[in-house]
């Protein structure tokens, strides 16, 4: 259920913070230029036109601190704070506006800016524009972000009715969402104003049913619903998908080859987790975060459970950071560090949501921790995969770009002290590795087993360096960014299943149960549904692909097919598991296809699916 507090959250108490004013942002170093080139090449491999959020976007957004009661002066003060504190240099590059910037939609369809909020937008000829605001951010070296809506009306119009900054005018003048205005609005926001990031919310599809007070009173037109929260099959997911696809198309028309982020904000509804990556650079996986431990974990779970859907240019988004608020304020530094650690291991966008002009240095230091940011921003873009979960403890591992390196988060979700261990072999590393604690910088050598003692709610975030356990071999489940789900087979799921299952999963069955084959547990593998097509990006780097593939439960025959750059390389129909070992030398993209009788639900394990160099 969506709930909103009536009052704007109070930002953190003021405290000492500012370091001396820094120089303008530095020119990129040779290393950064090289990294950009590698990322651009990667983008080419994904068929994308240009570098678009090839690492998770980082920046600042006013919503969690101010709701709609924000203005240009507050945003610019936070932009200045990003620079003064060094956070901009640490990677926080986007400065975004959220709900509330619009005053009305004129008869010609053009949106007017609320100039009481954005005074720079009142132009001498009487017209309004966000261009001066964007120019000011660009002049400071930031990228600029804006907020819009996929339906006719925004979230604030339903949920922040007390706000002094709601759209004004007649019913149709209040319709500031993109529905029916896709091309015009994207031209305005991305073309004319020059925004680099557009977050597009979805309340207009969910919260304007005829029964709502704000519809009954005639101020807003009834709509749908096309999204029913928590009920994917009561929603018109395909129509929601089409709307976002349209916006992507308009963005690409206005700025072909442009670096424009589309941030899809449909809170994990309308099966967005399965299609968000086709059009957006990120998509929210859960409801709005609130500044408490439970909400933070809920949102983390929604993102960490779907590793195979993320990768460079397409990120699971568990929502903006709550550092500085509630259970993540300066009295809760253990929780604050855990929050950032979890977002980093999940390769989540890092959007600071606090008023930085009042942020204590202790929290600035947490947000700016370079070792943690480096894990979040690792250029390989493999999201973390959970490899152990017992009661309150959880271990998540993320394969890093540097060979032989993994990041591992050892998480204590509960209120008791816990000891957590993970064998190096489970990380696919040989004995004798070196660990480095991202928070303390402490290095240790480890023989076989990493063990940490965790305080309540503490997370240890380590990078681990060592030799590969099986040199020249990598499990597909270790490299999620190489996976692209082309078809997920989820059409056969019931409503209840669709709400909970993950159609293509690493090291687990789509249902969430353990992955098994012929009654035996599978530690490393993909769990999929019949009807799925999963592409692996090999880039000609491997010689062989090997897997044992079969249904989890006994049933009729299924067909397993491998398609290498469009050619069928292997095909077998069998009621029993099949052993696959094929030559993939020179292959760029390998598709794993699982087929069964139409409409039949079958969970399948690609057990031990691995690539051999
Ligand atoms: C929704 C989004 C939030 C925020 C508000 C603005 O709730 O999920 O992130 O943008 O709308 O009204």
Nearest atom in ligand 1 to the alpha carbon of residue 160 is: 12
Residue 288 alpha carbon to ligand 1 centre in Å: 7
The pLDDT assigned to 258 comes to 84
DSSP state of 136: H
Residue to mutate, 99, 207, 214, 349, ligand 1, most ligand atoms under 8 Å from C-beta: 99
DSSP state of 528: E
Nearest atom in ligand 1 to the alpha carbon of residue 4 is: 7
What are 86-124's pLDDT values in tens digits? 999 999 999 999 999 999 999 999 999 999 999 999 999
The pLDDT assigned to 265 comes to 98
Residue nearest to atom 3 of ligand 1 (CA): 288
Q: Do strands 443-446 and 433-437 pair parallel, antiparallel, or not at all (unpaired)?
A: antiparallel
Query: Within 6 Å (CB) of ligand 1, which residues are found?
Result: 63, 98-99, 155-156, 201, 265, 267, 288
In the chain, pLDDT over 70 holds for what percent of residues? 92
The pLDDT assigned to 424 comes to 98
What are 3-44's pLDDT values in tens digits? 343 333 332 322 233 333 333 344 444 444 444 444 344 333
Q: Are 253 and 245 in contact (CB under 8 A)?
A: no
Structure tokens at 531: 């009807």
Residue nearest to atom 4 of ligand 1 (CA): 63
Residue 63 alpha carbon to ligand 1 centre in Å: 7
Q: What is the arrangement of strands in the sheet containing 558-564, beginning at the earlier edge strand?
A: 483-488, 532-537, 589-595, 558-564, 567-574
The pLDDT assigned to 257 comes to 83
The structure's pTM equals 0.92
Residue nearest to atom 6 of ligand 1 (CA): 99
Structure tokens at 310: 């993320």
Residue nearest to atom 8 of ligand 1 (CA): 288
The pLDDT assigned to 108 comes to 98
Roughly how many angstroms between the first and final C-alpha of the chain, as a whole number? 48
* 490-506 burial: b if 16+ Cβ within 10 Å, else e: bebbeeebbeebbbbbb
Q: Residue 254 and residue 347: Cα distance in Å, rounded?
A: 29
Task: List per-block mean pLDDT (blocks of 10 residues) for the chain, which spans 613 residues.
Answer: 35 30 41 43 40 93 98 98 98 98 98 98 98 98 98 98 97 98 98 98 98 97 96 87 98 92 97 95 98 98 98 98 98 99 99 98 98 98 97 98 96 98 98 98 98 98 98 98 96 88 97 96 97 98 98 96 98 98 98 95 98 98
The residue assigned the tokens 């101020």 is: 219
Structure tokens at 312: 């460079």
Residue to mutate, 285, 288, 320, 322, ligand 1, most ligand atoms under 8 Å from C-beta: 288
Residue 228 alpha carbon to ligand 1 centre in Å: 16
Q: Are 92 and 31 in contact (CB under 8 A)?
A: no
CA dihedral 599, 481, 386, 276 (to 10 degrees): -50
Residue nearest to atom 11 of ligand 1 (CA): 155
The pLDDT assigned to 51 comes to 58
Nearest atom in ligand 1 to the alpha carbon of residue 199 is: 10
Query: Which stretches within 329-465 are classed as H helix?
Result: 333-345, 361-367, 370-376
The residue assigned the tokens 């250029």 is: 379
The pLDDT assigned to 197 comes to 98
Nearest atom in ligand 1 to the alpha carbon of residue 147 is: 10
Nearest atom in ligand 1 to the alpha carbon of residue 154 is: 12
By C-alpha distance, which of 373, 249, 384 is closest to 311?
384
Residue 149 alpha carbon to ligand 1 centre in Å: 10
Residue 569 alpha carbon to ligand 1 centre in Å: 47
Cβ within 8 Å of residue 577, ≥6 positions away: 517, 518, 548, 549, 550, 551, 607
CA dihedral 488, 489, 490, 491 (to 10 degrees): 130
The residue assigned the tokens 């909400």 is: 295
Residue 97 alpha carbon to ligand 1 centre in Å: 11
């Amino acid at each position: 259920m969506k709930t909103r507090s009536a009052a704007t959250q109070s930002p953190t108490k003021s405290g000492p913070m500012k370091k001396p004013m820094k120089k303008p942002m530095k020119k990129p170093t040779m290393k950064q230029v090289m990294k950009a080139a590698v990322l651009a090449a990667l983008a080419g491999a994904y068929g994308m036109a240009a570098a678009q959020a090839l690492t998770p976007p980082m920046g600042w957004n006013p919503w969690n601190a101010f709701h709609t009661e924000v203005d240009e002066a507050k945003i610019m003060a936070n932009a200045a704070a990003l620079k003064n504190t060094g956070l901009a240099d640490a990677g926080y590059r986007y400065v975004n506006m959220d709900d509330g910037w619009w005053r009305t939609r004129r008869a010609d369809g053009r949106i007017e800016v609320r100039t009481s909020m954005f005074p720079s937008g009142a132009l001498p000829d009487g017209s309004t524009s966000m261009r001066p605001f964007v120019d000011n951010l660009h002049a400071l070296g930031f990228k600029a972000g804006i907020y819009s809506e996929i339906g006719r009306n925004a979230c604030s119009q339903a949920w922040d009715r007390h706000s002094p900054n709601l759209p004004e005018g007649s019913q149709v003048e209040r319709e500031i969402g993109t529905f029916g205005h896709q091309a015009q609005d994207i031209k305005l926001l991305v073309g004319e104003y020059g925004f680099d990031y557009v977050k597009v919310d979805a309340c207009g599809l969910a919260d304007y049913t005829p029964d709502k007070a704000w519809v009954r009173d005639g101020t807003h037109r009834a709509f749908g619903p096309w999204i029913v929260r928590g009920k994917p099959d009561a929603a018109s997911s395909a129509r929601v998908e089409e709307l976002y696809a349209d916006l992507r198309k308009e963005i690409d028309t206005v700025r072909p080859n442009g670096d424009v982020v589309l941030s899809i904000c449909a809170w994990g509804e309308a099966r967005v987790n399965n299609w968000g990556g086709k059009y957006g650079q990120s998509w929210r996986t859960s409801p709005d975060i609130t500044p408490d431990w439970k909400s933070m974990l809920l949102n983390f779970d929604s993102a960490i459970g779907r590793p195979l859907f993320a990768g460079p240019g397409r990120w699971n988004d568990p929502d903006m950071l709550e550092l500085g608020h509630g259970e993540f304020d300066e009295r809760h530094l253990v929780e604050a560090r855990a929050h950032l650690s979890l977002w980093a291991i999940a390769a989540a966008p890092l959007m600071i949501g606090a008023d930085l002009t009042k942020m204590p240095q202790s929290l600035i230091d947490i947000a700016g921790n370079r070792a943690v940011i480096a894990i979040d921003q690792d250029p390989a873009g493999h999201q973390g995969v959970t490899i152990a979960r017992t009661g309150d403890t959880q271990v998540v591992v993320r394969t890093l770009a540097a060979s032989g390196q993994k990041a591992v988060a050892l998480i204590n979700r509960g209120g008791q002290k816990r000891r957590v261990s993970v064998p190096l072999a489970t990380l696919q590393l040989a004995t004798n590795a070196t660990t480095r604690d991202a928070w303390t910088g402490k290095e240790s050598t480890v023989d076989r087993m990493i063990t940490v003692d965790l305080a309540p709610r503490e997370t240890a975030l380590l990078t681990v360096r060592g030799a590969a356990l099986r040199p020249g071999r990598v499990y597909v489940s270790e490299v999620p960014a190489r996976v692209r789900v082309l078809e997920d087979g989820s059409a056969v799921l019931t409503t209840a299943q669709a709400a909970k299952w993950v159609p293509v999963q690493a090291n687990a069955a789509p249902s969430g149960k353990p992955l098994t084959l012929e009654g035996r547990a599978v530690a490393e593998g993909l769990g999929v549904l019949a009807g799925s097509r999963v592409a692996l990006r090999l880039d000609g780097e491997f010689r062989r692909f090997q897997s044992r593939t079969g249904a989890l439960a006994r049933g009729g025959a299924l067909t397993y097919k491998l398609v290498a750059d469009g050619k069928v390389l292997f095909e077998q129909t069998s009621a029993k598991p099949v052993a696959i070992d094929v030559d993939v030398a020179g292959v760029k993209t390998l598709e794993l296809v699982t087929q069964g009788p139409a409409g039949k639900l079958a969970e399948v394990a690609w057990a031990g699916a691995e690539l051999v160099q």
